[in-house]
Structure 1
């Protein structure tokens, strides 16, 4: 997304980067919050039909198990995903705030485009396991905002050369970022199981 929506790209399309990015953040945060809230509602409905919410222990076991399964999938066959990206034609068809909201909303759901790692599925499963609209919505909101932050951080890019350097840096950091994500996911799994054992 950084290569598509940067101060340099927005200036070339005669759009205001700040407006596009604000719309993107709103779209991503809103879509994340709504997705999480919906999954929390579905989780609460499912548990209600079963008679009661699962215990905190059962929820933690579920989260820990899903995080572990996700790590195995990430290391082997990959995670289930659709093979779709946002439509770049929007960049030359609509105003910046329109494609900002549209792209943000698609990426804020986490699953409307390519799912790069299992942490996305673990996040949404956690929202559902919470059995709470409020908790699920909060989980989704954090996800949506986190998904938008890299674009916000690009605000200081003013030249094509700076954009190229930034994109090269992002590519170089990809493996480290993946490792940090996996370690964080492993930490979630371990913490869930440690709490259960205690």
Structure 2
């Protein structure tokens, strides 16, 4: 069974016949570890469904320090929504942390599918809801939670990221230093 078919049917019902039309709007792409899917200053022309592998979205500040904004693994969508929707240059880079197999969909094909496939609209609505909730939680956590609490929440919500990404990337995602993450992890392991 196709991973995208299974994924869609977690959020909306789509028949195998409709799925064959649906999947025709995607193109397959493979990228190697460390290769960029999106580079800062370019327009995000595709959203990517990850069939295999992991990616990271980050930006580089004026001091040259990179800040991890999102982490992605199989059955997740990757891209810069603002750039994709507004057709403006992205402020982000997205790179592969492992070799990846992706399914890309263009803005044009997204709009076509929205008109042709009710299941796609249902999927987009549910993804928007999940994304809004996750974003609110992350903002609240970054404003008010201790480093320990941010790490505990991260492990509870995304235990699979711990094995897939190095500590310095997880620390960047949490908005803490690698040393702070190391101390928090040691204390957690002692319990």
TM-score, normalised by the number of residues in structure 2: 0.30
> Relative contact order, CA 8 A, sep 6+: which one is greater?
1
Question: Normalization by structure 1: what TM-score?
Answer: 0.29
Q: Considering fraction of residues, name the structure with more strand.
A: 2
Asked which structure has the greater CA Rg, the reply is 1
Q: Looking at secondary structure, tell me which structure has more helix per residue.
A: 1
